[in-house]
Amino acid sequence: MEDDAVRAGSRLRGDGGEVVAMTDERREISSDEVCILIPTLDEAATIGDVIDGFYEEGYTNVVVVDGGSEDETRDIAGERGAEVIVQSGEGKGQAVREAVEYIQVPYVLMVDGDGTYDPADAERMLEPLSRGYEHVIGNRFADMDDDAMKALNGFGNRLINRAFRTIHGADFEDILSGYRAFTVDSFERLSLDSDGFTIETELAVECVKHGIDTTVVPISYSARPEESETNLHPVRDGGTIIVALYSLAKTNNPLFYFGSLGVLGIASGGAIACYVLWRWLQYGVGHEILALVSAAAILLGFQLVMFGVLSDMLVSLHREQRRRLEQITREARDDE
């Protein structure tokens, strides 16, 4: 916990892990500037308590964006005083994107409707926004109930966090967390097009890519109540998330994206070449076709690596230009 709090005090940027200390300047956030955003799909067992929990904490602007629940979710949410909207498309990602467009206040606290997150952590989640951060991730691993995450989900989460660190170069500790606080302004700067459970991954990657000031705070995470059912398919959704993580590397870390394919080409071409050489030296048998395939794979591999290096240079230059542009815009605004 302590460690998390310390790390949460630093600003993580998306341009190669540069860490800058935040200033002590604060702008108090009042609860009516915050919208609690809850995407739901068949959460009748828990949605009432979740909404009540936020009311008790003083947050009365609650928007529930529903994905066409077949239970009482929408009725319960309406009765407890939340504003209920029905998403026009499908999936949690589409629901969140649509709801943020609808929100009129500057700050959003997004949370699942399944009662696994604690409304009492709301203030802790929002506090970094008052210090100038634009996106806050609640780290569930800081204080997790023993039965809150199945072994397979826990393993998948750790694997995905590690892959994110390696590919995207930032440590957000728990990128799949559903508890997020962010400014509407920063959300609008991200290019999001994820529909389903890849929304959290996309949020993390886009924050790195656009240099959004992001931080992590420790939160508690409990098990879903017994009567409530998950919408997540660990294997299918886990696979989709890993594919998304990799494909999002194309514009964020092209050296990894093209380089890994290139290395794969070189390695498989090299292995075939070794086999051909061994057969020729040992038995005097030639494999012309295999030799051709191997040469093609090695050549293609090298080309992909070179392409990765070039794309990486382009991305670095683009980041540099964007940073300068942001600096000029800031200076112009300060001069006004």
Ligand X SMILES: Nc1nc2c(ncn2[C@@H]2O[C@H](COP(=O)(O)OP(=O)(O)OP(=O)(O)O)[C@@H](O)[C@H]2O)c(=O)[nH]1
Nearer to ligand X, 95 or 100 (CB): 95
Q: Which does 67 bind (CB under 5 to 8 A by kind): Mg ion, ligand X, none?
A: ligand X
* Spatial CB neighbours of 316, under 8 Å, sequence gap ≥ 6: none
Q: Does 113 bind ligand X (CB under 6 A)?
A: yes
Q: Does 297 bind ligand X (CB under 6 A)?
A: no
Q: Does 178 bind ligand X (CB under 6 A)?
A: yes
- CA distance linking residue 208 with residue 252, whole number of Å: 8
Q: For residues 86 and 74, is the Cβ–Cβ distance under 8 A?
A: yes
Instruction: Choose among 41, 44, 157: nearest CA to 92.
Output: 41
Q: Which does 327 bind (CB under 5 to 8 A by kind): ligand X, Mg ion, none?
A: none
What residue is closest to ligand X based on CB? 67
Q: Which does 48 bind (CB under 5 to 8 A by kind): Mg ion, ligand X, none?
A: none
E strands of the chain, at which residues? Answer: 10-12, 19-21, 34-40, 62-66, 83-86, 107-110, 135-144, 180-183, 214-221
Q: Does 43 bind ligand X (CB under 6 A)?
A: yes
Q: Which residue has the tokens 């030296």?
A: 281
Nearer to ligand X, 8 or 41 (CB): 41
What is the Rg, in whole angstroms, of the alpha carbon atoms belonging to the chain?
Answer: 24
Among 112, 134, 173, 174, binds ligand X (CB under 6 A): 112
- The encoded tokens of residue 181 equal 């606080």
- Rounded to 10 deg, the angle between the 199-209 and 151-168 helix axes is 20
Q: Which does 170 bind (CB under 5 to 8 A by kind): Mg ion, ligand X, none?
A: none
- Rounded to 10 deg, the angle between the 288-335 and 254-283 helix axes is 170
Binding site for Mg ion (CB under 5 A): 112, 114, 116
Nearer to Mg ion, 198 or 311 (CB): 198
- Rounded to 10 deg, the angle between the 199-209 and 234-247 helix axes is 20
Q: Which residue has the tokens 């302004």?
A: 185
Residues composing the chain? 336
Q: Which residue has the tokens 């459970």?
A: 197
- CA distance linking residue 121 with residue 300, whole number of Å: 51
DSSP state letter for 116? -
Using the contact rule CB under 6 A, the part of the chain among 39-47, 239-247, 279-287, 320-328 near ligand X is: 39-47
Binding mask 78-107 for ligand X (x = CB under 6 A): ---------x--xxx--x------------
Q: Does 232 bind ligand X (CB under 6 A)?
A: yes
Q: Which does 92 bind (CB under 5 to 8 A by kind): ligand X, Mg ion, none?
A: ligand X
Among 67, 138, 156, 269, binds ligand X (CB under 6 A): 67
Nearer to ligand X, 43 or 213 (CB): 43
CB of 178 to Mg ion, least distance (A): 6
- CA distance linking residue 315 with residue 168, whole number of Å: 13
Q: Does 186 bind ligand X (CB under 6 A)?
A: no
CB of 171 to Mg ion, least distance (A): 23
Among 11, 80, 224, 287, binds ligand X (CB under 6 A): 224
Residues that bind ligand X (CB under 6 A): 39-41, 43, 65-67, 87, 90-92, 95, 112-114, 116, 178, 224, 230-232
